[in-house]
A and B are shown apart, each in its own frame.
Chain A
């Protein structure tokens, strides 16, 4: 049987405001428990919410960046349920009239093709506090610092057909909110959380299968694994004659599995109704225009600019623009050194090293100026690429800090002395009669072997292009 996977994502992006959505308390992460919760956040009697206008501006920015409809009159509603970390007994959210309506984003698939993913809506809401269950043996503790932190919940259409597509979409949204500066995107701290609605159906079927909602996914890697696990679980279940039940499942990264958290039967009736303490949020056309005018350059625009301004390949440019910090790092390098070389070094060296060490570019041990200095020495032929990588390793580990003094100290300067180079070429020709013969017969590929031999003799300090030229001249005349 041929199965098709159907995925929709709900992303909670914590908006990067200074204060909370309905109060003046700070939203900074990591403070002592309950030190950033004021009477509004505590849900005290008689206390009223007031909308932080910054969250409205940020939601409109998101709508503009995703070509989405803007709810010019959106309504806060109360989602009623009891939980100790929900101080008022309801979450103030949006339901019938969200601030952001239908929109779309384009993602690039692994084969280089593009796909448009629809956005159903995005709405503003307040976060709940945190329950801490492992602090006391007899009690659970409540930390309300997070209560009232503004969230933008971004709901996609069920348009994704594989875990990889879902990850590409999530990364795209992540990239957008970071570019817009409306969310710091920190997944470990929970500023960017993904819930995946996953179902499977037979290929060609028009109805969707029953879905499960997978929660607690705090990295892109886990998102892919959680979805893949869930897809396999559902297919196994269906192929062995079972049925999928609609439920919420929790992903456990240590066991790499999802397990049932609550079924639809336990689902609460949230009794949504318009919050009588807040007026509808009305957005004027003029406000939208001024927000539009102030939008920063977005990843897709930046991609086009890299291709036209610096002639970068689509793949390289896409990789560079995805993360705003990576792009800014790259531009800092490209403004000081050859952009094309800068792109190659970013894509093939810096990003690879960051991934390998699992560190963010903000914490890269090598700064843009150091990388630019290194590239400048390659461009002016002081060193070759191979030595360049060796120096980058030294910068990365902290062994080197200044490119030029390291080159001088270690004597890594490329040998341009024609006499020395000729001597190495002659030696290789003398030792490799078979290969020389093959080149004479037109087998150009063998040239690589000869150049390699000569590079070895030079301890890497010769210029490979120069060697190749010399071999050609000597062998072919």
Chain B
């Protein structure tokens, strides 16, 4: 039986279970399902020690917000003393001497991390097939991809290994796998959660966030990780809302916009039907639904595939074989050291994006690509800003299809990129986005995406929570694990 974070917390508070027991169980499941799902890069058995300490704290009445709750982290968050691979051969030997800010925040809230989760290499991918450690399988059907790049984070929750994980979202990497695996995932507003110690893919788009079974659990986790960090200049210095209180707001009286562009060509009929039902459910909860026209949304994909690779090409320059990470053997000279270290240790998709990013920043192309993409980005932001003057939320499918077969899109990068068509706009505009399970199509979960105004995570979580109180899609569990 799979539990939510909240239910586990109740067990701890009522002394019906100990942190050690919960952690032991999570570790057992993690080991047992590793061959089948490949969700972890590292399972940290020493986390039992942390669980014991949590039990001692609780006995003394010194427990924090998440004390004793087993969770797991996408392997993009640096952990002091434990390998952080970012899904890459490049960092297969990398152990950071520091914790990411969100990791230290979770630690001080008492959460117990049982390990590091598999992911697309450097968070580049939508299927988790780009990992040096092999693909993650979807717990609902192990022939299917779990989505990416936070595929391990989604699969571990869907399989009930842990109740909550941390993922990161640069173009949909929390919401798309959440949708594919039938769980709830939140990409917070850019700047709400510190990026310090989170390995960078595209710095102006990357944002860490919670993945769990329920919106309520996401609220709990977000409360622990959100906030200004003086070590991240792009984190925003404004108070963090009380997300748990916000949950009770509901959706009654809220105006929900449905952009025509999210229901057009390319949307799978089965997904459309499920999403239509979900919207009706929101209406019956008191939300007012209006149609929206957001014509600039079509600019998002080209803008994203200029800006993200451009930043990535620069962010990944530090992996040169000189100070840490993979180093080619017996280099003939400096250039050979660079070329071979990077060619041997970066996967195909990473190399593709580095090359594309290098190209768009080159002299003579910068204005035509990078500057133009920034202009599109501003247009998309402005379009959202205008829309949010008349609606409180924008709702649609998280992805155009349900999870596809492993290997189906690996030869066609553009088909793969189209998976993110509904999610990348939120990264370009910096706004928050939530994906909640809303049904099934062809036996695979479908996600409903709810976008909101900057820093209105509370509004989204309240809508998700209201929906989840009225439906039971989020309680469905894959069978045969």
Chain A residues in contact with chain B, CB under 8 A? 39, 42-51, 78, 80, 82, 84, 87-90, 142, 269, 271-273, 276-279
For A45, give the chain B residue with the smallest CB separation.
B199
Alpha-carbon gap, A352 to B242, bound state (A): 73
Alpha-carbon gap, A101 to B232, bound state (A): 28
Alpha-carbon gap, A337 to B471, bound state (A): 94
How many whole Å from B88's CB to the nearest CB in chain A? Answer: 10
Alpha-carbon gap, A78 to B97, bound state (A): 26
Chain A residues contacting B198 (CB-CB under 8 Å) are 46
How many whole Å from A42's CB to the nearest CB in chain B? Answer: 6
Tell me whether A45 and B94 are in contact (CB under 8 A). Answer: yes
Chain B residues contacting A45 (CB-CB under 8 Å) are 78, 84, 86, 91, 94, 96, 199-200, 318, 324
Known: A46-B78, A46-B197, A89-B317. A51 touches B323 (CB 8 A): no
Chain A residues contacting B320 (CB-CB under 8 Å) are 82, 84, 89
Tell me whether A50 and B231 are in contact (CB under 8 A). Answer: yes
Chain A residues contacting B233 (CB-CB under 8 Å) are 48-51, 277-279
Chain B residues contacting A78 (CB-CB under 8 Å) are 314
21 interchain pairs (CB within 8 A)? A42-B324, A44-B96, A45-B200, A46-B195, A46-B199, A46-B200, A48-B231, A48-B234, A50-B230, A50-B232, A78-B314, A80-B317, A88-B318, A89-B314, A90-B314, A90-B317, A142-B323, A271-B366, A273-B310, A273-B361, A276-B203
How many whole Å from B132's CB to the nearest CB in chain A? Answer: 15
List residues of B (283-311) whose CB comes within 8 Å of A's CBs: 310-311
Tell me whether B196 and A48 are in contact (CB under 8 A). Answer: yes
How many whole Å from A144's CB to the nearest CB in chain B? Answer: 8
Of B195, B316, B317, the most chain A CB neighbours within 10 A belong to B317
- New contact pairs (20) apart from A45-B324, A48-B234, A271-B313, CB-CB < 8 Å: A44-B96, A44-B324, A45-B78, A45-B200, A46-B100, A46-B195, A48-B196, A48-B231, A80-B317, A82-B338, A87-B323, A89-B317, A90-B314, A271-B314, A272-B361, A273-B311, A273-B361, A276-B203, A276-B234, A277-B203
Interface size on B, residues (CB 8 A): 44
List residues of B (81-103) whose CB comes within 8 Å of A's CBs: 84, 86, 91, 94, 96-98, 100
How many whole Å from B331's CB to the nearest CB in chain A? Answer: 11
Known: A43-B323, A46-B100. A271 touches B358 (CB 8 A): yes
How many whole Å from A56's CB to the nearest CB in chain B? Answer: 13
- For B97-137 the 0/1 string (1 means CB < 8 A from A) is 11010000000000000000000000000000000000000
Tell me whether B196 and A46 are in contact (CB under 8 A). Answer: yes
Chain A residues contacting B323 (CB-CB under 8 Å) are 42-44, 87, 142
Chain B residues contacting A80 (CB-CB under 8 Å) are 313-314, 317, 361
- For B139-155 the 0/1 string (1 means CB < 8 A from A) is 00000000000000000
* Interface status of B346 (Cβ within 8 A of chain A): no
For B76, give the chain A residue with the smallest CB separation.
A46
Alpha-carbon gap, A43 to B231, bound state (A): 14
Alpha-carbon gap, A80 to B358, bound state (A): 10
Alpha-carbon gap, A277 to B317, bound state (A): 15
List residues of B (196-220) whose CB comes within 8 Å of A's CBs: 196-200, 202-204
Alpha-carbon gap, A276 to B361, bound state (A): 14
Chain A residues contacting B370 (CB-CB under 8 Å) are 273
Alpha-carbon gap, A42 to B97, bound state (A): 12
Alpha-carbon gap, A48 to B195, bound state (A): 8
How many whole Å from A90's CB to the nearest CB in chain B? Answer: 5
